[in-house]
Each structure stands twice: as structure tokens, then as C-alpha cells.
Amino acid sequence: MFGYFAEKLNVKNLGELLAPTLTPEQEFHAAIEQGLHDKFVRMMDEQNIDPNAKNEAGNLPIHTAAYYGRVDFLELLLSRNVDVNALCPRQNAPLHYAAAQSREDAVKFLVNHGANPALRNRNGRTPYDVAKGDNIRQYLLPLQFRHEDPAQAASMLPPGITPSVDPMAPRPVIAPPPVSGDYTAMQGPPMGMPQQQTAQNHLYAAATHSAIP
């Protein structure tokens, strides 16, 4: 029966149809996905696979390593002079991929090795914008402020927040203005009146997106 289908489909080897052979580039990316470090090194050293070999989607190995949080692969790729801020066809940098998949160790590794937290993809989103997890978002936002052009940052931020404001900096708790005659600066707010909230309280909303736009 297999011979019949092979003849009708003009396939020399039906096994290639049922289990297609990966190209060297696909196999290279698969080694990253599966965490096969020795195979990954061997393919570069013995088969001369380009550390910037693209997969079928046009992504580089550093994007795949960041997506899966493979810090050891990231370290090896950077040692081969791969660009830490290399962009994929959708203009996402490795830091976008690591942040979107909540790969905290990979995020910090990339930042410590020169990743730019202010890069925007083709939809205008930074790694902070696509990040999952409050820890990563709180880590990235002040870094974004420090790297971003002030004029561009100001156009992207909600009212009341400016690039000159570091949300991680401690802020004094200031009592609200008096609302009754018995209030004095020494006494503080009347009983039951809530203390003023600081800017941090509502700054880090949980991410609502599950993928990089």
C-alpha cells in the first residue's frame, strides 16, 4: 500500500513524506529547543553551521535561545560575536522573546550583556510592554526609562509619568490636604482617612497578552 501511495505522489522515499528530514539550519534550532548543548557546539565546530543561521520563520538562533531561556546557549552565541540586539522579521530583539516567555534569568543575562531594553518592535512595543510576570516588568521599566530617548518615551507614556521619573526610587508618603478644620500638619490626616498612594502602586499592571504582538 505504501508503494502505491509513493508512486501516486511521485515520492522517491515515502519516509521523507511521513517524517521529513530537517535541514541543517532547522536541526541547529531544534538543538537549542531541546537543550542539546553538545550537539549545538558540534554543529558549529564540525559542520561549520553559521551561529546566525535562520530558521524557516527568519528567526536567528539567539532568538530561539532567548525564547526558551537557554542562558548557556546565549552565552555561547555571544562568544561567537552574535549581536545581542539582533532583530527578527517582526523587529523583536532577543530581549523581547525572553521577556514575553517570562525567562527571568535570560532577561537579566541579556541586559547584563548589552541588550537594549528600550528597543521597540514593529508595533512600537518594548520588552517591558510584552513581558509576562511582575518581577520582569519591574526590572525592565526603569531600565527602559534610562535607555530611551526622552522625547520618544514621553509620547508613549500615560499622563503623569515621565522618563525622568524612576518608578523604583523610594518616595515619601505625603499626607493629603486638609478636609476639615481639626486637621493640622502635626496631627496628620483625620482618623479613617487613607494615606496618599505612591506612584508605584498602580504602575506595574500584570501583562494581559500571551504572545509578542
* CATH architecture label of 50-202: Alpha Horseshoe (1.25)
How does residue 165 score in pLDDT terms, banded at 50, 70 and 90? low
- List the chain domain ranges: 50-202
Asked whether residue 75 carries a pLDDT value surpassing 70, the answer given is yes
Give backbone dihedrals phi and psi of 188, rounded to 5 degrees, phi first.
85, -175
CA torsion sign for 92, 93, 96, 102 is positive
- Give the pLDDT mean for 112-141: 96
> Any alpha helices (H) in 34-174, and if so which ranges?
37-45, 61-67, 71-79, 94-100, 104-112, 127-130, 134-147, 150-156
Q: For the purposes of burial, counting CB atoms within 10 Å of the CB of 61, is it exposed (0-12), middle (13-18) or buried (19 or more)?
A: buried
How does residue 147 score in pLDDT terms, banded at 50, 70 and 90? confident
pTM score above 0.85? no
Q: Which residues contact 70 (CB under 8 A, 6 or more apart)?
A: 32, 35, 106
Percentage of the chain exceeding pLDDT 90: 58
Name 188's bridge partners.
184
